C-alpha cells in the first residue's frame, strides 16, 4: 500500500472573535492517496475553506498534518508552498496583474524556492509557454506579453491554473476556481482541469458548489457539515450517486 500523499489526524481549527471561541473544523481525520482527485461539498460555513486553509498553513490547527509522511503541522504557509499550489475563486488572486502572462508563468516555475537574482529566460521558453497556453483555446497564447490585469476572467483563471501546476505540486487545492466564471467558460476550464490532473497524475482537492461537477469529476467525493466529515464516497460509490442523494445534506 502506497504512502498517503496527505494525512490529517484529529485536526481542529478554533477561532477567537469578540471574546468568544468557535471551533470551525472538528477532529478532522482524512487520508488522501496519491493521485486522488477529491471533490468537496458542503453548505456555507461547513468548513470547506477552513479545511483548505488548515492544510495550506494559513490557519493554525491542532492535530497532525503530514505530506508524504513528513509532519508539516509546525510549518507556516510559506514553508508549505513547496508542496502545495492553490487556485482561488477570484481570478485576480494568484497572479501579478502588472506582470505579463509569460513573466507570471516563469515566476511560477520557482514556487517555494529561495529567492535569488537570476535571468528570466523568457525568450528561451517562449515556444514552450505558447504551447502550454494554447491548450486553453481562449487566446491566452497570443497574449504572452500582455499585462495579466488586461485579461478576461476566464483567461486569468486559466493562467492561475497553469501557474499552479508548473512544478507538479504534491497537492493541488482548487478553491471554487470556476465559481466566478460564466457557465460556458466554467465548463471549458473544468474539462481542462480534469485533463491536466490526469495527465500530470496530480493529487487534488476541489471545493465546488456545483453538484454536477462534484459528481462528474474526480474519483472521490466528501461532504463537510458543521466542521465535520459527514460522508466520504469512493470511486465505486461515487459512480452510483445522484444529485438527489447529495441534496439530503443541504436540507
Of 17-21, 106-110, 114-118, 162-166, give the range with the top mean pLDDT. Answer: 162-166
Average pLDDT for the chain: 91
User: What's the confidence (pLDDT) of residue 21?
Assistant: 85
Q: Which domain holds residue 51?
A: 6-83+169-250
pLDDT at 2 over 80: no
- What is the rounded average pLDDT of the residues 131-156? 94
119: pLDDT strictly greater than 60: no
> CA–CA distance from 16 to each of 13, 23, 33, 83, 182 (Å)?
10, 9, 33, 28, 37
> Quick check: 154 and 185 in contact, CB under 8 A?
yes
E strand or H helix at 13, and its extent?
A: strand 6-17
Residue 66 sits in a domain of what CATH number?
3.40.50.300
Is 187 among the domain residues?
Answer: yes
In a domain, 192, yes or no: yes
Q: Which of 28-37, 66-75, 115-124 has the lowest mean pLDDT?
A: 115-124
Structurally, how many domains does the chain consist of? 1
Give a yes or no: residue 191 inside a domain.
yes
Give residue 123's pLDDT: 80
pTM: 0.92
Amino acid at each position: 500500500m502506497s504512502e498517503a500523499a496527505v494525512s490529517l489526524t484529529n485536526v481542529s481549527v478554533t477561532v477567537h472573535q469578540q471574546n468568544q471561541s468557535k471551533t470551525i473544523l472538528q477532529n478532522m481525520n482524512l487520508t488522501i492517496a496519491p493521485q486522488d482527485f477529491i471533490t468537496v461539498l458542503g453548505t456555507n460555513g461547513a468548513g470547506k475553506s477552513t479545511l483548505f486553509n488548515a492544510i495550506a498553513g494559513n490557519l493554525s490547527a491542532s492535530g497532525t498534518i503530514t505530506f508524504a509522511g513528513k509532519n508539516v503541522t509546525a510549518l507556516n504557509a510559506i514553508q508549505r508552498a513547496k508542496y502545495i499550489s492553490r487556485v482561488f475563486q477570484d481570478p485576480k488572486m494568484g497572479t501579478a496583474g502588472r506582470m505579463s502572462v509569460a513573466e507570471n508563468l516563469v515566476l511560477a516555475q520557482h514556487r517555494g524556492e529561495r529567492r535569488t537574482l537570476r535571468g528570466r529566460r523568457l525568450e528561451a521558453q517562449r515556444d514552450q509557454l505558447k504551447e502550454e497556453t494554447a491548450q486553453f483555446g481562449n487566446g491566452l497564447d497570443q497574449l504572452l506579453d500582455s499585462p495579466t490585469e488586461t485579461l478576461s476572467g476566464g483567461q486569468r483563471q486559466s493562467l492561475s491554473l497553469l501557474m499552479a501546476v508548473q512544478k507538479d505540486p504534491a497537492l493541488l487545492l482548487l478553491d471554487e476556481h470556476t465559481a466566478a466564471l460564466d457557465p460556458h467558460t466554467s465548463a471549458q476550464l473544468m474539462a481542462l482541469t480534469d485533463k491536466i490532473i490526469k495527465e500530470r497524475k496530480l493529487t487534488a482537492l476541489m471545493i465546488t458548489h456545483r453538484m454536477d461537477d462534484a459528481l462528474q469529476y474526480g474519483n472521490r467525493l466528501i461532504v463537510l457539515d458543521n466542521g465535520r466529515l459527514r460522508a466520504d464516497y469512493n470511486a465505486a460509490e461515487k459512480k452510483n450517486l445522484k444529485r438527489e442523494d447529495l441534496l439530503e445534506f443541504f436540507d
